Amino acid sequence: RADAEALHSDSLKVPRRPPWTKDMSVDQLDRNEKAAFLEWRRALAAVEEDERLTLTPFEKNLEIWRQLWRVCERSDIVVQVVDARDPLFYRCPDLETYVTEIDAAKRTLLLLNKADLLSPDLRRAWCDYFDERSIGYLWWSAKTATEAVDAEAARMKKRRAAEEAERAAAEDILSREQLLEVLERRAEEAAGEGARLRRRDGRVCVGMVGYPNVGKSSTVNALVAAKKTGVSATPGKTKHFQTLELGTGLLLADCPGLVFPSFTASRAELVCNGVLPIDRLTDVREPVGIVASRISRRLLEATYHFKLPLPALHEDQSRNATAGELLRAYCAARRLTVQQGRPDEQRAGRAILKDFINGKLLHCVGPDGYT
């Protein structure tokens, strides 16, 4: 599999918008974009034919990619919102390349959402990883920020966001005010390096991009402190990019959530990472097996208040539970049955997977070498 991935790695690119000028007709632009997109799809179709490989269910709708193109062209800085529990799964390095191809002055940044779920030690390990590779990043929790915005509205308490942002350590989770301050400052730096990027009205623009279910819409909602985008547990709710005003000097361009082409271990892995919708699953065993392999018996028992069956005498007594053991124990504890009293594994599996995705069953990935 590793050899196959290396062979096809150059094919995992963001589709490029073909060169265009203002003199081109709408029909000519449309034809050129469709032709370039078709060529991109053909290259990925060749990769999909390799049985050794599993690809993410990447976005196949040209209209969604057109939204991404517009956001990248319009923005001074493009922010990839990723789930901090497994940031490299959601990061698209080629998007960063594409943004600088549009204009070398543009910047990119990783916004590591759900950072409150990581220990300070793990955040520091990721800081070292990103610093060594010169990858820009910020720690953030849309959930915590939204709760803080609600509390702030009640207290009407003001802070000096700029001073706080300067004082924040690299591994600290930024507040809404701190994040806005940093984004505006970095966008202004990018616009200063490429004056033509700046809007006629003098405002800078921050583009927000990310997979479905990483918390991009929640992040946008927290930043505007009002529900401008729909937040949903079903991946892929925002369909068109929207531009939102954040004060007098900052615009936010919110791109629809989309899945980038990349290699993955299996479709079950995609379910556990929130990329494929759980409620449409027909077989929960494989993804639940991944959850069982990553969450200790002790934590499962403490979370669900049940006892898992002990391993057989000839087995490793400290081994993790199997998918079947976890599903049956959950069904027994919750009295979930179907016809003839059989355990309702589908219902149990969906509940367990949702708990894994929302962090109730917490599993975080560290950089290579982290223990």
Give the residue, 239 or 115, on which the prediction is more confident: 115
Question: Are 39 and 78 within one domain?
Answer: no
Same structural domain for residues 47 and 78? no
Residue 61 domain-assigned (yes or no): no
Last residue of a domain, one of 228, 263, 298: 263
With respect to residue 129, please indicate whether it lies within any of the assigned structural domains. yes
CATH code at 310? 1.10.1580
Q: In this structure, are 242 and 338 located in the same domain?
A: no
Q: Please tell me whether residues 304 and 282 are part of one structural domain.
A: yes
pLDDT-derived band at 161 (thresholds 50, 70, 90) equals low
Q: Are residues 146 and 227 in the same domain?
A: yes
CATH of the domain at 207: 3.40.50.300
Query: Residue 277: inside a domain, yes or no?
Result: yes
Give yes or no: residues 253 and 134 share one domain: yes
Indicate whether 192 and 223 sit together in one domain. Answer: yes
Q: Are 346 and 242 in a shared domain?
A: no
- Counting the structural domains of the chain, the total is 3
Same domain, 270 and 192: no
Average pLDDT, the chain: 89
CA distance 176 to 301: 36
Better pLDDT: 172 or 238: 172
Q: What is the pLDDT of residues 69-125, one digit of tens each?
A: 999 999 999 999 999 999 999 999 999 999 999 999 999 999 999 999 999 999 999
Which strands sit side by side in the sheet containing 204-210, from one edge to the other? Answer: 173-174, 137-140, 107-113, 77-83, 204-210, 250-254, 242-246
- 148 and 200 share one domain: yes
Question: Residue 157: what pLDDT?
Answer: 46
Q: Strands (DSSP E) along 91-201, which ranges?
A: 107-113, 137-140, 173-174
Compute the average pLDDT of residues 328-353: 96
**Window from 248-252, 277-281, 313-317, 336-340 with minimum mean pLDDT:** 248-252
Mean pLDDT in residue range 138-165? 67
The per-residue pLDDT for 11 is: 81
pTM over 0.85: yes
For residue 367, is pLDDT > 60?
yes
Average pLDDT over residues 302-314: 96
Tokens 């449409």 locate to 280
The answer as to whether 367 is a domain residue is no
Residue 103 domain flag: yes
Q: Is residue 366 part of a domain?
A: no
193 and 281 both lie in a single domain: no
Q: Is 343 helix (H, G, I), strand (E, B) or coil?
A: strand
| Structural domain includes residue 275 | yes
Does residue 1 carry a pLDDT above 80? no
**199-215 pLDDT tens trace:** 556 789 999 999 998 99
In this structure, are 18 and 101 located in the same domain? no
Given this model, what pLDDT does residue 146 score? Answer: 79
Q: What is the pLDDT of residue 139?
A: 98
Query: What is the extent of the structural domain holding 29?
Result: 1-55
Residues 231 and 235: their CA atoms lie apart, in Å, by 10
